[in-house]
Amino acid sequence: MLKPAALLYDRFMRSVEEAGLLAWRTALLAPLSGSVLEIGAGTGRNLGRYPPAVTWLVMTEPDRNMRAILERQVRAGSREGEVVDAPAEHLPFPDGTFDAVVSTLVLCSVVDPDAALREIHRVLRPGGRLVFLEHVAAAERPARLRWQRRIEPIWKRVAGNCHLTRDSERAIGSAGFDITAIERASMRKAPGVIRPTIRGSAVAVDRGR
C-alpha cells in the first residue's frame, strides 16, 4: 500500500507546477547532456524534461512509496532511466561517474545536507555540474523567517523531514562547488513558508585548491 504523502505529493504540487515550477524545471534541465544522476527524484516530476542529449539517466529515491510511483512513471515510458534505492548521503557509485547531478527540492529533506553534497561532489567528474532548485530560508524577509522557524518542527514531521530554514546556497559553496548561475525567486502558489527559492548551476572544483 502506498502512503498518502507520496500519493498526495503530485496533487499538492499541481498548481505550483502550473504557476511556474514546471517551466523552471524545463529550463534548468535543458542544457544537460551525457550521464546524469538525479537525487531524491520523488514521483518523477523531472522525468519528461530531460533532453535527448542525456544518454544515461539514473534516479535515486530512498522512500519506497515515492519510488513505486517513480518506477511506474519509468515503465509508462516517458523517458528511459534507472531507479536506485539510495539516500543522497550514501551514493552507490564510483568517484567521477556522472557529468551532472540534479537536485530539485531535495536538500531541504535530506538528513545531512553537507554529507549529501560531499557525495554529489565525489560522484561528479571534475568540472561536472550540480543543477539545483531548492526552497530556502527567507534570509531577506525577517517576518517570514521567524514564521519558518516557528513552524519548522511540525512541518518536518508532516512533510517528510522537509526543513524550512536551510541555507543551501552556503552549503553548496562550502562543499567544493563554484556557483556559476543562481536565481532567487518566489515559488508562486506555494505555501508562504516554502516560497523563497534558489535555482541554478554549480561546477565541482578541486577541494584542495
Ligand X SMILES: C[S@@+](CC[C@H](N)C(=O)[O-])C[C@H]1O[C@@H](n2cnc3c(N)ncnc32)[C@H](O)[C@@H]1O
Contact positions toward ligand X, by CB under 6 A? 39-42, 45, 61-63, 66, 87-89, 104-106, 109-111, 160
Nearer of residues 106 and 137 to ligand X, judged by Cβ: 106
Nearest residue by C-beta to ligand X? 42
Taking the C-alpha atoms of residue 137 and residue 149, their distance in angstroms, rounded to an integer, is: 9
Least Å distance, CB 106 to ligand X, is: 4
Taking the C-alpha atoms of residue 206 and residue 209, their distance in angstroms, rounded to an integer, is: 6
Nearer of residues 41 and 202 to ligand X, judged by Cβ: 41
Least Å distance, CB 145 to ligand X, is: 20
Nearer of residues 61 and 99 to ligand X, judged by Cβ: 61
Least Å distance, CB 64 to ligand X, is: 9
Least Å distance, CB 62 to ligand X, is: 5
Nearer of residues 55 and 161 to ligand X, judged by Cβ: 161
Nearer of residues 64 and 184 to ligand X, judged by Cβ: 64
Least Å distance, CB 142 to ligand X, is: 25
Long-range contacts of 126-129 (CB under 8 A, 24+ apart): 126/96, 126/204, 126/205, 126/206, 127/203, 127/204, 127/205, 128/96, 128/98, 128/99, 128/100, 128/101, 128/203, 128/204, 129/32, 129/99, 129/100, 129/101, 129/201, 129/202, 129/203, 129/204
